[in-house]
Amino acid sequence: MMPSSTIQKAQTLDVIAIRKQFPVLNREVKGRPLVYLDNAATSQKPQAVIDALLDYYTNYNANIHRGIHTLAEEATAAFEETRDAVQRFIHAPAREEIIFTRGTTESINLVAYTWGRKNIKSGDEIIISTLEHHSNIVPWQILCEEKNAILKIIPINDNGELMMDEYKQLLGPKTKLVSIAHASNALGSINPVKQIIEWAHAAGSLVLVDGAQSTVHLDIDVQDMDCDFFAFSAHKLYGPTGTGILYGKKHILEDMPVFLGGGEMIKEVTFAKTTYNDLPYKFEAGTPNIADVIAFKTALQFIEDVGKEKIRKHEQDLLVYATAQLEQIPGLRIIGRAKEKVSLISFVIDKAHPQDIGILLDNRGIAVRTGHHCAEPLMKCYHIPGTIRASFAVYNTREEVDELTGGLRKAIKMLS
């Protein structure tokens, strides 16, 4: 049972009213009401976000920044309003520090292919951690192979927490970049990014923070954090897919080479020479994902209207409740016991493959994620092929947690 004080906190959020804003939650899967617990992969979208997409295509579909006609001006204004909204949401100093990309993956690659190729030399060192998503591993491996640089890895303890003393020992005069997940997509562990950044800066290194899993759950203030880059995706914040953000400190972005060549990222083009555009457009070549960027502003407004603090308390209540319920299931072992976690739980079950459990849960309308979660090195660290991951959002309920635990008990019985 949950403490009464925790129950009271959870009641400050009207989950029933919130659920009514998400049309997909009304559907059935395999003849049963949908229980969607795969929010770490992507969140569902409120009707207001869907309406914003429809409104753009219905009423003012046009290309942006180039046209002088009414539709183009309306579309441009709406697009740039999202940039301003993102700036406020993460407390960036300037709007030109907000770069639109296709997602966290492209944001990280942008830094690797521009800042990295210009600044990383043979023998330089880049530090990441055992907890990283493949998107924060592979770009740095490619860069290190190309530049003959060295990739170093921060180890973790059994709870899935970074070993900070080991991290401090890895830092040195050759460290040029630390690229770190704010929160693990596979375990939920929240990393102490302020300390990581402080120590890295003292060693003369820049820091990129992968905020894909943290931005929807935690208050983000890039100035207080003092990160040099921060990357995240709209679709994990109740927004559309195909839209991401790269924040970078202005002086660093200005010094970086361009990423993609084409329209918009130029000031003047001749066959002899091209002059590149100012920030942020220098990194936004071609026609962007206009509709989804515009709708992302509506998603941010949804979060602000509900309230980040209320959302966080509700999700943490679900995490505490789900952890207690899952611990009562014989043969179930939770992977990742960090003291600070976002609202997801990874676990394995004795003598059962995660995929088999996932299929049996889906037969009961319960959506979870199974596998290595694009974190194969982390799974190898725990000597497991993968986990079952349940991840929670603002619209999830304790009743859905009960459905999960009931479904797990039935699945285990079927497989035994």
- Whether 273 has a pLDDT exceeding 90, the answer reads no
User: pLDDT value at position 385?
Assistant: 92
pLDDT band at 188 (very low <50, low <70, confident <90, very high): very high
What is the overall mean pLDDT for the chain?
95
**Residues taking part in catalysis:** 374
Give the bridge partners for 98, in sequence order.
247
**Rounded average pLDDT over 25-35:** 96
pLDDT band at 274 (very low <50, low <70, confident <90, very high): confident
For 7-16, 72-81, 142-151, 315-324, which range has the lowest pLDDT when averaged over its residues?
Answer: 7-16
- Whether 4 has a pLDDT exceeding 50, the answer reads no
pLDDT band at 267 (very low <50, low <70, confident <90, very high): confident
**Rounded average pLDDT over 157-185:** 98
- Whether 201 has a pLDDT exceeding 80, the answer reads yes
**Rounded average pLDDT over 376-396:** 95
User: pLDDT value at position 226?
Assistant: 98
User: pLDDT value at position 270?
Assistant: 81
User: pLDDT value at position 183?
Assistant: 98
**Rounded average pLDDT over 360-380:** 95
pLDDT band at 294 (very low <50, low <70, confident <90, very high): very high
**Rounded average pLDDT over 189-204:** 98
* Fold entry, domain 4-39+308-415: Aspartate Aminotransferase, domain 1 (3.90.1150)
pLDDT band at 2 (very low <50, low <70, confident <90, very high): very low
Which carries the bigger pLDDT value, residue 12 or residue 133? Answer: 133
User: pLDDT value at position 263?
Assistant: 80
50-304: CATH class: alpha beta
pLDDT band at 9 (very low <50, low <70, confident <90, very high): very low
- Whether 8 has a pLDDT exceeding 50, the answer reads no
- Whether 15 has a pLDDT exceeding 60, the answer reads yes
User: pLDDT value at position 185?
Assistant: 97
User: pLDDT value at position 90?
Assistant: 98
**Rounded average pLDDT over 111-137:** 97
- Whether 74 has a pLDDT exceeding 90, the answer reads yes
Which carries the bigger pLDDT value, residue 260 or residue 97? Answer: 97
- Whether 7 has a pLDDT exceeding 70, the answer reads no
**pLDDT > 70: what percent of the chain?**
97
- Whether 6 has a pLDDT exceeding 60, the answer reads no
Give residue limits of the domains in the chain.
4-39+308-415, 50-304
pTM of the model: 0.94
User: pLDDT value at position 191?
Assistant: 98
User: pLDDT value at position 50?
Assistant: 98
